[in-house]
Chains A and B, each alone.
Chain A
Amino acid sequence: MSKVAASKGPSDQRWFDIVVYAIAAILMVVVLYPLLFVVTASFSDPARVLNGEVWLLPKGFTLEAYANILHNNKIWTGYGNSIVYMVVGTLINIVMTLLAAYPLSRPDLPGRKGLMMIVTLTMFFSGGLIPNYLLVKELGMVDTMWALIIPGAISTYNLIVMRTYFQNSIPWELQEAAHIDGCSNWRLLISIILPLSKPILAVMVLFYAVAHWNSFFNALIYIRSEDKYPLQLVLREILLISQSATEEGGNVGLEKQILLSESIKYAVIIVSSLPVLIMYPFVQRHFVKGVMIGSVKG
């Protein structure tokens, strides 16, 4: 930023700044408006939302939608499931990624190139949806939480980010010295590498956790019983069902039902995105750091 500030001088074009700031302001409005609209609509009288009266401020303020959600068991089951999948999944992700990234970061690992090949090649070619599905089915994981966790246990991109961090941020001399002192590789990993890797571990936990929380497709193909649905799948049902109900519209008996799903819709979006959005201001910095590390050597 300093270079831009330094270039301030008489030859500067004032209009250029004005244009830059104007575009930036428009962008912020465009990005924020849909989010604000959902928040506003969730606090408004659903009938007035349906009439298109709401556009910025709540009309007919009500907390009914949130009260309805409180009594909706499906949503809470989904919430619980998602939390379990996220916690267990992220734990396995971290352990597996660490176990792969650390040895692969060691310059003295015989056969490192070949092993790296096995890993990176998978970024460019995959068997595709059907063979993966048949494999998971064959392993008997369909309709269990493991189908959502084991097949995605390692993200190759995250592995490479972590490996790059180990290579660039932890001095090799330190590890060699520990070796000479008779430290085993496991102890080295646990008592030297891990404490030095807190920033990257934080980034990885966040990347994986958000991915678990937001994913729906694996659950769509692998989870059959409704009581195992993660939140995103419940959400999809609520959003799609209310959509088809509106399409059929007109029917007087349906009207109340439409209103109910319509009112719940906005609040459900808020409630489901809340964990990530609350976390966001605190961790945003770490996310950015993760992207930067990854970009050092993709």
Chain B
Amino acid sequence: MKNADVHETAAAPRSKPERGGRLVRQIAKRYDLYLMLLLPIAWYLLFHYGPLYGLQIAFKNYNPGKGILGSDWVGFDNFRRFFDSYYFWRLLWNTLSINLFSLLLAFPVPIMLALLINEIRSKTYSKLLQNITYIPHFISVVVIVGILSVMLSTNGPINMLIQGLGGTPTRFMESAGWFKTIFIGSNVWQNMGWQSIIYIAALSGINPQLYEAAKMDGASRLRRIWHVSLPGIVPVIVILLILDIGQFMNIGFEKILLMQNNLNLEASDVISTFVYTTGILKGEYSYTAAIGLFNSVINLTLLLLVNRFARKTSETSLW
């Protein structure tokens, strides 16, 4: 009898908070899952959302003595100063052009490499090619730039070859005109193999009957690549393209910084390196935080635009 009573009182306020009660019970039953998540989520809030909060210094005149909250608001002054500066257009052009050229020239290479590997009939030969092209991916940026400066120095192998062919040696690393070519070229050299992995996987998922059918119809191998292989991996291409554009304004910052010198600054000065040299080295925190924010906003806008465009035209998108 007593038991039933207790049950009754417990069940009394049932009608409305039932759902909430069940949720609480569900959570209580799995409290240990939340315990696991405690540290990671706290970390995410502190190290990813904390800086978003700190971003308000872009609209302030940050004074380390007064702290983030205590510093005075200045509105859009920092942005205006950046837009009016003489180096604004140079920074913007270099940032946009390096990334745009990368997208146009470097993005298709792994796709072509994957198609090439897919056409190699000897399995050992194709494995060999894959394993060799993956190697540079594991070399650090510092070493890559070191290798570049050795290969391209006035008495390095490249200049020796040029001299041997009757040309005059060039100081590649100290030339603004060559900067973007070297930067993008070495990126291709380092990453084409690694980036081709996903395409190779996608290619191996294409139904072999499609190739047979195309062959019956008299399609040459080149045509089979064009009409069977390529359409088969278009969704993967679109996704990777969107992801690449999502990083549009940030690509290769560390490498650019290492390759930068006074002689090629005209071509190598980009927004992110400027933020580093002016912000971290010279301590203009508010000003460069504003520039960083400008960079992020362009980046996010591009990502949203491309994603929407992709969703409309190819039905493949991130979300």
Partner of B142, one of A125, A151, A239: A239
Residue pair A104, B68 in contact (C-beta under 8 Å): no
Partner of A21, one of B39, B125, B139, B257: B125
Residue pair A126, B121 in contact (C-beta under 8 Å): no
Residue pair B52, A131 in contact (C-beta under 8 Å): yes
Docked pose: A213 CA to B141 CA in angstroms: 11
- Which residues does chain B contribute within 8 Å of A30, judged by CB atoms? 189
- Interface presence of B100 (CB below 8 A): no
Docked pose: A36 CA to B128 CA in angstroms: 17
Partner of B208, one of A3, A35, A185: A3
- Interface presence of A100 (CB below 8 A): yes
- Interface presence of A216 (CB below 8 A): yes
- Interface presence of B140 (CB below 8 A): yes
Residue pair B201, A12 in contact (C-beta under 8 Å): no
Partner of A55, one of B143, B157, B201: B157
Stretch at the interface among A57-65, A68-76, A290-298: A290-298
> Beta-carbon contacts of A5-17 to B below 8 Å, as 1s and 0s?
1111101110011
Partner of B125, one of A24, A37, A126: A24
- Which residues does chain A contribute within 8 Å of B133, judged by CB atoms? 27-28, 31
Residue pair A99, B208 in contact (C-beta under 8 Å): no
Docked pose: A273 CA to B190 CA in angstroms: 14
- Interface presence of B91 (CB below 8 A): no
Most buried by A among B51, B258, B288: B51
Residue pair A284, B140 in contact (C-beta under 8 Å): no
Stretch at the interface among A106-114, A165-173, A196-204: A106-114
- Which residues does chain A contribute within 8 Å of B128, judged by CB atoms? 28
User: In B67-124, which residues have CB < 8 Å from any A CB?
Assistant: 68, 113, 116-121, 123
Docked pose: A24 CA to B202 CA in angstroms: 20
- Which residues does chain A contribute within 8 Å of B52, judged by CB atoms? 125-127, 131
- Interface presence of A256 (CB below 8 A): no
Docked pose: A239 CA to B272 CA in angstroms: 23
Partner of A131, one of B123, B138, B289: B289
Docked pose: A273 CA to B153 CA in angstroms: 21
User: In A1-47, which residues have CB < 8 Å from any B CB?
Assistant: 1-9, 11-13, 16-17, 20-21, 23-24, 27-28, 30-35, 37-38, 41
Tally of A-B residue pairs with Cβ under 8 A? Answer: 269
User: In B187-205, which residues have CB < 8 Å from any A CB?
Assistant: 189, 193-194, 197-198, 201-202, 204
Partner of B295, one of A9, A31, A128: A128
Residue pair B132, A128 in contact (C-beta under 8 Å): no
- Which residues does chain A contribute within 8 Å of B36, judged by CB atoms? 99-100, 102-103, 185-186, 189
Closest to B163 in A: A52
- Interface presence of A191 (CB below 8 A): no
Partner of A129, one of B50, B134, B208, B275: B275
Docked pose: A153 CA to B121 CA in angstroms: 43
Partner of A277, one of B37, B46, B68, B138: B138
- Interface presence of B135 (CB below 8 A): yes
User: In A189-233, which residues have CB < 8 Å from any B CB?
Assistant: 189, 210, 213-217, 221, 232
B151 CB, nearest partner CB in chain A, Å = 5
- Which residues does chain A contribute within 8 Å of B268, judged by CB atoms? none
- Which residues does chain B contribute within 8 Å of A130, judged by CB atoms? 54, 57, 275, 279-280, 285, 288-289, 292
Closest to A246 in B: B153
- Which residues does chain B contribute within 8 Å of A214, judged by CB atoms? 138-142
Docked pose: A243 CA to B116 CA in angstroms: 38
Partner of B118, one of A4, A38, A102, A115: A4
Number of residues in B with C-beta < 8 Å to the partner? Answer: 104
Closest to B34 in A: A103
A177 CB, nearest partner CB in chain B, Å = 16
Docked pose: A287 CA to B36 CA in angstroms: 27
Docked pose: A153 CA to B42 CA in angstroms: 12
Partner of A236, one of B27, B142, B220, B296: B142
Question: Which residues of B are in contact with A by a Cβ distance under 8 Å?
Answer: 23, 26-27, 30, 32-34, 36-37, 39-41, 43-55, 57, 68, 113, 116-121, 123, 125-126, 128-129, 131-136, 138-143, 145-147, 149-151, 153, 155-157, 159-160, 174, 189, 193-194, 197-198, 201-202, 204, 206, 208, 211-212, 215, 218, 220-222, 236, 239, 243, 246, 253-254, 257-258, 272, 275-276, 279-280, 285, 288-289, 292-293, 295-296, 300, 303, 318
The 7 A-B residue pairs whose C-beta atoms are closest, nearest first, are A127-B51, A128-B292, A3-B208, A131-B54, A100-B40, A214-B140, A131-B51
Question: Which residues of A are in contact with B by a Cβ distance under 8 Å?
Answer: 1-9, 11-13, 16-17, 20-21, 23-24, 27-28, 30-35, 37-38, 41, 50-52, 55, 96-97, 99-100, 102-104, 106, 108-110, 115, 118-119, 122-135, 150-151, 153-154, 184-186, 189, 210, 213-217, 221, 232, 235-236, 239, 243, 246-247, 265-266, 269, 272-273, 276-277, 280-281, 284, 287-288, 291-292, 295, 298
Provide 9 A-B residue pairs closer than 8 Å at the C-beta atoms, listed in order of the A residue.
A7-B215, A20-B116, A51-B155, A52-B160, A118-B41, A122-B48, A133-B280, A265-B146, A269-B147
